[in-house]
Chains A and B, each alone.
Chain A
Amino acid sequence: MSRPHTFKSKITLVVMATSGAALLLAILALLVDEYVSHRQDAARRLRIIAQIVATQSSAAVLFKDARAAEEILGSLRAEEELVAASIYTVEGHLFVRYLRPDARPEDLPARPGHPGSGFRDGNFEMFEPIVVDQKPMGTFYLRSDLRQLRARLVWNVVIAFCVLAGAALIAVSLASRLLSRVMRPILNLEQLANTVTTQRDYAVRARQESDDEVGRLVHAFNEMLAQIQLRDDALRKAQGELEERVQARTVALQNALRELESFTYTISHDLRAPLRAMSGFSRALLEDYGSSLDPGGREFATRISSAAKKMDSLILDLLDYSRLTRQEVKIERVELEPLASEVVRQMEAEARERRATVVLERPLPAVLGHALTLSQALTNLVSNGIKFVGPGVDPMVRIRATRRDSVVRIEVEDNGIGIAPEYHERIFRIFERLNPSETFPGTGIGLAIVRRATERMGGRSGVESELGRGSRFWIELPAAPEPPPAGTPP
């Protein structure tokens, strides 16, 4: 037998077990009572019969009229339960006897016993004295096998079990129906709890159908839901407010940033006009009036020109950086090889000047990016590689690119002074300089431009380096998908 799984079937089992046990006990008690009372009835009836026969047969015994006595005993035939009966004379001799067809003469006692009755071996036996005028005249004996009593007992047991089976059937169906009604609110509650859990809907409520324990449970459940709903609403509201606030701040910040950039651009742009004048007039002063100036004057003029030039390059870098931030960057397929070749070609003059060698390690794959922006970043990296070398060292710069899965890593390796690990991130910030500009001229914007450029193209940038061991700057960009086969129109 499998164990019941549902709460309902468990309760049904409890109900069936208890009511079944009670019913079984009641039926057993009834059966026993029925059997005992019927046994007593049968005994009483047999005693009456014995008394009747004893009275009735007295004259026949007295007058030794065997035929009449036989007739009287013969009337006992109607009692099917009677196995045997007999009459004994007062002297104790067997006078007449009655035997049921299936009985044997040995079933009769040879001599009369003491008056009385009793059950023996499931049979009822009785000796009844035949008395006339208070004088014993003989003895009547009868024996019954109580056949009907037994048949009745069997029949009663059969009926009892039929009743039990019927009652069990009715009880099961009744319990099932009643339990369905009782269980419905609980099942509804379970369903509702599931709904709340899966759909996070705290607005639903269970219907309270009664004031009993289940009703109170439903009520408590609803209270709980109400509290959860209150908290959920508050939480949601707080979250919404927070988001709005963050958004407002973001917008304000973006506006401020845009204003700042616009301001920077404007300032940078406007600063160049007076600078050009300074540069141009200091050069004109040297060219046109250099001969009339003493060496000290020429020195000052040269310094003015040099400073103006330096400032101009600074402003140009700033403009580049600013433009990188502002301008739209359209991501497309960029063939790295021609782009890198162009960068190297443009750097030729500067490289020759610094006795530097720039090596392009072919082949270079195609990437997804923005040609102009990438070109700018690459130029800055090569320029740095040529610039930052120890004294008396001829710069050596190698450009290579490797593809790994969907990412292309472009590396610019130099044999320069290297960078201590703690500075690897700092150098990508704007205006961060590690070395005095007297040793290594520059604006401090170059690597910031590289970082900003790669970020705008959706890539990453970084450096691997140790102090005095050269540096390896890298840019990672998404690899361009394979070009369509030749002959196929784009």
Chain B
Amino acid sequence: MAMANEGSELVVRSGTGRLSTLTAALGLLAVCPATAQEPPKAPEYRIKAAFLYNFTLYTDWPPDSFPKDDSPIVLAIVGDDPFGGELDKAVRGKTVRGRPIEVHRYAKAGDALPCHLLFLSNEHARNLPQFLDRLGEPLPLTVGETEDFTRVGGAIRFFVEGNKVRFEVNTDALARARVKMSSKLLSLAKIVRDTEER
């Protein structure tokens, strides 16, 4: 599995290089979105819940973050849960690389036990720096929705652009969390760094 991941990452890198060159050189594309066949629009947080699950597919956490080979990937939500039951629905019965997925909810940031992906509601996201200081190793992959979330140290931020849910990734935060995210995923994301001015 590790071999396959490395292989696919290599391939994707070269493909991305060609893609950017081509896009720059040709400008216009014969590709067009098949809007007619697209399924009906899902509610925003159902999409976001699906995204959270999808992130786990393209992310590798450090091995020491799992006590056992079949330890679950833990998704934690701190504060109000905007997903309702959507997140539980999205991950139910699913596994990633043989690991089940568990969803934990905490009222306060301080309650949060070690987890792999941490979704912060807006009220907690605003105090992110202080919150991060209080979290012990290993750091989870933090996801938020506030406008400066990634600039203040968050890893992934959801935002809506042109009626579509998109996301932003701070690669420095990924490094701090010792998380490897597939370039396939990164190619879909808007990339930011700590120092970068928005």
A89 vs B57: C-alpha distance when bound (angstroms): 17
The stretch of B7-15, B108-116, B142-150 in contact with A is: B7-15
Which residues of A are found within 8 Å of B97, using beta-carbon distances?
133
Which residues of B are found within 8 Å of A77, using beta-carbon distances?
22, 26, 30
Report how many A-B pairs have Cβ atoms within 8 Å: 91
Which residues of B are found within 8 Å of A75, using beta-carbon distances?
15, 18-19, 22
- Using A55-B11, A56-B12, A97-B31 as known contacts, say yes or no to A63 and B188 having CB atoms under 8 A apart: yes
Say if the beta carbon of B51 comes within 8 Å of chain A.
yes
Chain A residues 84-119 with CB under 8 Å of chain B are 89, 91, 93-101
The stretch of A66-74, A231-239, A322-330, A420-428 in contact with B is: A66-74
Which residues of B are found within 8 Å of A467, using beta-carbon distances?
none
Residues of B within 8 A of A (CB): 8, 11-12, 15-16, 18-19, 22-23, 26, 29-34, 37-39, 51, 54, 57-58, 96-97, 182, 184-185, 187-188
How distant is B151 from chain A, measured CB to nearest CB, in Å? Answer: 23
Residue of B nearest to A101 (CB): B30
A358 vs B185: C-alpha distance when bound (angstroms): 162
How distant is B42 from chain A, measured CB to nearest CB, in Å? Answer: 9
Select one of A72, A94, A132 contacting B34, CB under 8 A: A94
- Using A56-B15, A95-B37 as known contacts, say yes or no to A74 and B188 having CB atoms under 8 A apart: no
How distant is B41 from chain A, measured CB to nearest CB, in Å? Answer: 10
A301 vs B3: C-alpha distance when bound (angstroms): 174
- Are the CB atoms of B34 and A95 closer together than 8 Å? yes
How distant is B83 from chain A, measured CB to nearest CB, in Å? Answer: 17
Select one of B11, B33, B185 contacting A52, CB under 8 A: B11
Say if the beta carbon of A78 comes within 8 Å of chain B.
yes
How distant is A238 from chain B, measured CB to nearest CB, in Å? Answer: 105
A406 vs B74: C-alpha distance when bound (angstroms): 152
- Are the CB atoms of B182 and A70 closer together than 8 Å? no
What is the size category of the interface that chain A forms with chain B? 35 or more
- Using A56-B15, A72-B15, A74-B23 as known contacts, say yes or no to A62 and B57 having CB atoms under 8 A apart: yes
Select one of A73, A93, A98 contacting B37, CB under 8 A: A93
- Are the CB atoms of A78 and B34 closer together than 8 Å? no
Known contacts A74-B30, A97-B31, then 15 further A-B pairs from the complex at CB < 8 Å, ordered by chain A residue: A55-B11, A55-B12, A59-B58, A60-B184, A60-B188, A62-B57, A74-B22, A77-B22, A78-B22, A89-B39, A93-B39, A96-B33, A96-B34, A99-B30, A132-B58
- Are the CB atoms of A58 and B184 closer together than 8 Å? yes
How distant is B180 from chain A, measured CB to nearest CB, in Å? Answer: 14
Select one of B18, B29, B96, B182 contacting A59, CB under 8 A: B182
Chain A residues 425-454 with CB under 8 Å of chain B are none
Which residues of A are found within 8 Å of B22, using beta-carbon distances?
74-75, 77-78
- Are the CB atoms of A68 and B34 closer together than 8 Å? no
Which residues of A are found within 8 Å of B182, using beta-carbon distances?
59
Residue of B nearest to A103 (CB): B30
Residue of B nearest to A85 (CB): B31
